[in-house]
Chains A and B, each alone.
Chain A
Amino acid sequence: MGLSKSEISPHPASRDDMITTRLDALVKYFQGKCGWAQRNSLWPMPFATACCGIELMATGASRYDIARFGAEAMRFSPRQSDLMICAGRVAIKMMPVLQRIYMQMPEPKWVISMGACASTGGVFDTYAVVQGIDQFIPVDVYVPGCPPRPETLIEGVMAIQRIIDTQGIQNSADRGGGLGLVIEPASEMVQVGKEQAAQ
């Protein structure tokens, strides 16, 4: 993929426009290259709160060796990671922590919801457990299982790679994701809150 004339606008209005068009093509070219680099060096942020984390560790070990996909560098600092693997149930009190870590990750970022609990709540259909982290942060890939096999998690990483292949490197807000579920407080509650704030 080079800088061919067909990529340049046929009727450049001015010299500045032409430069801009050429720059756009250049950026597009390097974005393609960056996508290739990005898909093969996804550094996960392991948010492992339960037994799924054990399978996550097994995936990193020599038997399944997630390093073959370039995703072996588990970064325990969100600033250095691209891919959040949320493994395990998330209590409602843990949710602000998860959200904060997600916000601290630099764009572009992807999220794998690993296991039944992180994806839907699983057996823990209680008031204390979040019924799916996609109600709070956008999720790209759901991995079923309780816990999932390492192979299934590798399938999840490959699904993220396919997303990067097809959509390119996009910010999470542009990509969308999840069910689109939004939990908003009922209008009466908002009204009460406003009245209290006014007092």
Chain B
Amino acid sequence: MITEDDIIIVDDMRRDMSLTERFYLPQIAQGLSVTLRRMFTKRVTLQYPEMRREPKLEGDLTDPHSQLNASRYRGVHRLNRDPDGRVACVACFMCETACPAHCIHIDAAESPWPDREKYPAKFDIDELRCIYCGMCEEACPVDAIELTYEYDLVGNTRNEMIFDKGKLLEVFDETCQIKPRRNPRITGYAGTGSPDHQPARPTGEQH
């Protein structure tokens, strides 16, 4: 039930401006005081090309102003190497199947090595079509494809943004120091830049 008290006539709330409000200058000073106060607080701007967020795996990862969680961030892909420095991919087409953007293209060939049947003769990723969802690294049974923390990548043509196998392995060489292979026990090589030349699997386990 609506009573008389519930009804508010809006026009009655209007009032005349006070003297200071009519002068406008105090109001301007009030507004500028906010600007002035901001000049003495901590600056929030990240001076990007000079300052960048450092990718880290350990330590205090809660400060988003200075650090990038390298284990979680999804940037440019890489193809991992196995202990002998060969490409770890076995060309099973799981990532190509899982990819929602269809940006991975693999040409499989018979492996020249005895410990696996297939290897990727060609492995192309269209970095422009990729949406960096990380489904490829989840699908990979040998953890050969991983996403790195690299994000500062632009291109002048579409062709140069299609990364082939060699370029993806280069990305691994550049990033394996900061972000080692996630699951090294599959091949026994953490990718820390010093392969110990252990065979990937016992040699009797050939298929």
Contacts and interface: CB of A to CB of B under 8 A. Distances in A.
Interface stretch (B11-19, B116-124, B154-162, B185-193): B154-162
A128 B157 CA distance: 24
A121 B131 CA distance: 10
Contacts of A146: 130-133
Given A64-B46, A158-B49, A179-B158, A145 B151 contact: yes
A151 B151 contact: yes
B52 interface: yes
Contacts of A149: 151
B101 interface: yes
Given A116-B130, A142-B128, A146-B130, A152 B151 contact: yes
A174 B161 CA distance: 23
B152 interface: yes
A9 to B, nearest CB: 35
Given A116-B129, A116-B131, A123-B131, A141 B45 contact: no
Contact of B127 (A123, A144, A163, A179): A144
B154 A155 contact: yes
Closest 10 CB pairs of A and B: A146-B131, A119-B128, A120-B129, A123-B101, A120-B128, A65-B45, A142-B155, A155-B154, A156-B154, A144-B127
B52 A151 contact: yes
B126 interface: yes
A143 B158 CA distance: 10
B153 to A, nearest CB: 6
Interface in A112-166: 116, 119-123, 125, 132, 134, 140-146, 148-152, 154-156, 158-159, 163
A63 B47 CA distance: 9
Interface string B138-181: 00000000000001111111110100000000000000000000
A154 B132 CA distance: 19
Among A64, A144, A146, A151, max chain B CB count under 10 A is at A144
Interface in B94-143: 100-102, 126-133
Interface string A27-69: 0000000000000000000000000000000000011110010
B156 A141 contact: yes
B128 A62 contact: no
Contacts of B48: 64, 68, 150-151, 154
Contacts of B45: 62-65, 68
A116 B102 CA distance: 12
Nearest to B157: A179
Given A116-B101, A121-B129, A150-B48, 14 more contacts: A62-B45, A63-B45, A64-B45, A64-B46, A141-B154, A141-B155, A142-B154, A142-B158, A144-B130, A144-B153, A144-B161, A149-B151, A154-B48, A179-B159
B140 to A, nearest CB: 20
A119 B49 CA distance: 24
B151 to A, nearest CB: 5
Contacts of A178: 157-158
Contacts of B127: 144
Contacts of B151: 145, 148-149, 151-152
B158 A120 contact: yes
Contacts of A144: 127-128, 130, 153-155, 161
Contacts of B157: 142, 178-179
A154 B159 CA distance: 21
5 contacts: A116-B129, A132-B158, A148-B151, A151-B152, A178-B158
Contacts of A140: 156
